[in-house]
Structure 1
Amino acid sequence: MKMVKRYAGILMMLTLLVGFTSCEDDEDLEEQMFGRIWAGDVGMSAANGRYIYSEFTFDPDGFGEEYQYYRNGEPYDYFRFQWYWEDRYSNNLVLDYGRNGISYMDDVNIRHGLMTGIFYLTEDSKGFPFTLEMQ
Structure 2
Amino acid sequence: MVIASPWRRLMASLVDGLILVPLSFLLMTLAGINPLTATTTFFQDFLFNWLPSWAYYVVFTALYGATPGKMALGLKVVRTDGQPVDWLTAFMREVVGKTLSTLPLLLGYLWAFFHPKRQAWHDLIADTLVVRPGQTHTGSEGGGPEPRP
* TM-score between the two structures when normalised by the length of structure 1: 0.28
Task: Please state which structure has a larger fraction of its residues in strand.
Answer: 1
* TM-score between the two structures when normalised by the length of structure 2: 0.26
Higher relative contact order (CA 8 A, sep 6+): 2
Greater Rg by CA = 1
Task: Please state which structure has a larger fraction of its residues in helix.
Answer: 2
